[in-house]
Amino acid sequence: MIGQVLVNGILLGGIYALVSLGLTLIFGVMRIINFAHGQFLMLAMYATYWLFQLYGMDPYVSILIVVPLMLVIGMGAYRMIIQPIIDASEMTHVFATLGLNLSLQGIALFLWQGDFRGIRTSYSSLVIHLGPLYINIPRLIIFLCAIAAILALFLFLKKTYTGKAIRASAQKRVAAQLMGVNLSKIYMIAFGIGIAIVGLTGAVLMPIYEVFPSVGSLFALVAFVVVVLGGLGNLGGALVGGIVIGVVESVSGVFIAPALKEGVYFIIFVIILLLRPTGIFGKAVIR
């Protein structure tokens, strides 16, 4: 049983890591906590759903459309909402993204009502057995996507000019500008990439979760916990933080009580922050 519990926890951690990756990237670069993160996930899930319903497109194939779509949406959202307030106070950022959160949820409810919409594929319940263990294939795919996304993002930030410009902007805004980096354009690209990752997440979540207007809120809270735990802006930290939360949740759910599992991981979260306030891999920011 302990083996299965750990497998379930690690796979759950992969979901949490992928959900929080875009959030940690955006914060790492722009120091903005995107409270609309969950609603962008909701939009991506709806996009995947409608591509399946209207065109019979498999969720994994729809990644080719949903990811670029969310990239454009993310860049558009940055240009219209975030850019005008980028130099404003943190409270303004909070209210702007919270307002975006509520607006997107309201629009989704208006367009698609509160109905639960799910996708039924031939592989949603596909399971492979390794001895006494079982592994749900869609969940394994999500875990592998999380690793692939982190690696791809790491290589992009390390090897490409735009990636280096993003890193430079994250490290020292003014110095990056002096070096010729167009900060506005780089922030827009970074925000867009963060939301594009959310697009990937939405597409791979659809085989196992239903979409409805407030589904994003369910994922958003744990995403914030994972981001802070792993270290704000740290990609590897998002994976480690996600797996820590997933395993703690799974183990405590089985060996303590399912009703207490969220409480247990929050307690562990607080303990880790007390010992290491910047998160597992975070670095202190000098203002």
Partner 1 sequence: MKRFYFLSFALILTILPFQAVAQDSVKIGCVLPYTGALAWQGQETFRGVQLAAEMQNKRGGVHGKKIVLVKGDSETLKTAVTETERLINMEGIKIFAGWYSSSRAKVATTVTEKYGAIACIVIAVADDITERGYKYVFQPQGRATLWGELSAEFVGKEAAPKLGKKPSDLKVAIAYEDSDFGTSISVAFARKAKEYQMNIVAQEPYSLSALDLSPVVLRIKQANPDVLALTPYVRDGILFLQQAKDAGLSPKVLICPGGPLANDVFGEKLGDDMNYMLVTTCASHDVRKEAFQPEAWQALQEFVERYTKEFKKPPTNDAYHGFQGAWTFFHYGLPRAKSLTPDDIEKSMRSLVLKPGENITTFGYQAAPMGHKNAGANLIGHPNVFQWQKGSIGHLVYPKEFAKSQLMLPMPAWGQRAMK
Which residues form the interface with partner 1 (CB under 8 A)? Answer: 1, 4-5, 8, 12, 15, 105-106, 109, 113-116, 118, 120, 124-125, 127, 134, 136, 208-210, 212-214, 217-219, 222, 246, 249-250, 252-254, 257-259, 261-262
Which residues in 228-250 are b (16+ Cβ under 10 Å) and which e? Answer: bbbbbbbbebbbbbbbbbbbbbb
CB of 113 or CB of 184, closer to partner 1: 113
CB of 34 or CB of 136, closer to partner 1: 136
Expressed in percent and rounded to 5, the helix, strand and coil fractions of the chain are 75, 5, 25
Region of residue 210 (left: phi > 0; alpha: psi -120 to 50; beta: else)? beta
> What is the nearest approach in angstroms of partner 1 to the Cβ of residue 241?
15
CB of 134 or CB of 154, closer to partner 1: 134
CB of 5 or CB of 273, closer to partner 1: 5
> What is the nearest approach in angstroms of partner 1 to the Cβ of residue 36?
16
Q: What is the DSSP letter of 211?
A: B
Region of residue 180 (left: phi > 0; alpha: psi -120 to 50; beta: else)? left
Residue 116 structure tokens = 């639960």
> What is the nearest approach in angstroms of partner 1 to the Cβ of residue 210?
6
CB of 102 or CB of 179, closer to partner 1: 102
As a whole number of angstroms, the longest Cα–Cα distance in the chain is: 59
> What is the nearest approach in angstroms of partner 1 to the Cβ of residue 54?
16
Total residue length of the chain? 287
Angle at 35 between CA 33 and CA 36, to 5 degrees: 125
CB of 17 or CB of 165, closer to partner 1: 17
> What is the nearest approach in angstroms of partner 1 to the Cβ of residue 257?
8
> What is the nearest approach in angstroms of partner 1 to the Cβ of residue 285?
30
